[in-house]
A = this chain, B = another copy of it.
Amino acid sequence: MTEPFKIAIAGLGTVGQGVVDIIQSNAALIKARTGRDIQIVAVSSANKNKARSVDVSVYEWVDSAADLAGRKDIDCVVELIGGEHGVAHDLVAHALESGQHVVTANKAMIARHGLKLAQKAEYKNVALKYEAAVAGGIPAIKTIKQGLAANNIKAVSGILNGTCNFILSEMGLSGRAFDDVLVEAQAKGYAEADPSFDIDGIDTGHKLCILSALAFGIKPDLDNVLEHTSGIREISSLDLKIADELGYKIKLLGSAHVDEQGHVAQSVEPCFVKKSAPLASVDSSFNAVFFDADFAGQVVNIGRGAGAGPTASAVVADIMDIVCGDIGTVFSVSASQLKDARYMDSSRDEAKYYIHLSVEDRPGVMANISSALSAEGLSIDELIQRHYHVDGPVSVVITTHKTTRYALTSVLNKLQALDCIAEIVSVYRIFNI
């Protein structure tokens, strides 16, 4: 008889309880698929006596998660404590150093310390897996590492944060303002009391950083991503309304792509997405990941990005991979082969843009705007002039053809200097698929 595969779970929040639930509920299925039982040997969490949705009294309780590292009776430590540094990181580092496999959902830790942890794991020939760190129930990491393994991936983008996507979907549906919907999201538990980590794009940045590293074989570089990260606080219900009229939705996208010379660009920002594109159909708490691969072409995965079930499903799938002997590399190539990213000169990065101007209602305005654009060779796809509010200012909305950020910036500077333009209300990139 084969020995069970022995795990310990550190962290019994929503996801930790979900992992216990799956291992209890689907034990027969898991054994049928892997040929072995998964046995929970020990659990650890901050508060032993908290009410939980699953019975953990049958498992050994360990007060200090750190004590799980190095125990010979534990094959794999499942780290679900969270946080970039501190307890979670130290536990994972020590577990790997002592030859235990690790499965984690900790995106901040992988984005920040993934390279060093990968070196530790590969030195000991143990697994460090983190499918649950990106896009919950969507097997985005397995899609890069297995499904698209034969491809050079040219671009990866995603709707990676359910809080932002819920807020934007609600704003779009109801016409309500950001602050108003944020309060509702907080009341429903979809947003934290301090929501900045989500709504300022930082969480999306962590996930994009991991996807980039996997897709392009580069060292994860969170600082670069966060330098090019903006969130959704400034999105107005008017911009959502205009987007709708023009046939778009607004989504917070984490996007990375690589050019022919291997230069990488990474950004997190709200983007216009054509309603006919698969990503536009991804509303509320759903996430999506888009890949453009040299042979497979475009691939989109959609699914639940958070919650006990989807995230725990990803955690247990990782454990099952290890049970089946898939140790593999931590990223898509070994840590020693990951390259330092060479970044694209962002002023040369090309995209289509949406520009919303507030202008004075007098003759000659359109001529001034048009010549500012044409002076930079920026060509117009659509242009609308409209009074969106009675007695309010006149809006001029422009969508452009592809242009560089350099040309865009020059145009915006020219427009800013025009007397007839009261304000550049907003500028968004148009996601081009």
Contact = CB atoms under 8 A, between A and B. Distances in A.
B313 A324 contact: no
A147 interface: yes
A316 interface: yes
A151 B317 CA distance: 9
Interface in A355-399: none
Contact of A278 (B32, B278, B320): B278
Interface stretch (A56-64, A236-244, A296-304, A343-351): A296-304
Interface string A259-296: 00000000000000000111011110000000001111
Interface residues of A, number: 63
Contacts of A151: 22, 26, 29, 313
A149 interface: yes
Contacts of A150: 22, 26, 29-30, 312-313, 316-317, 320
A297 B137 contact: yes
A395 to B, nearest CB: 27
A70 interface: no
Contact of A297 (B21, B131, B310, B332): B310
A162 to B, nearest CB: 12
Interface string A317-349: 100110011101100111001000000000000
A112 to B, nearest CB: 24
A152 interface: yes
The 8 closest A-B CB pairs, nearest first, are A139-B147, A150-B316, A137-B296, A296-B313, A299-B303, A295-B309, A300-B302, A295-B313
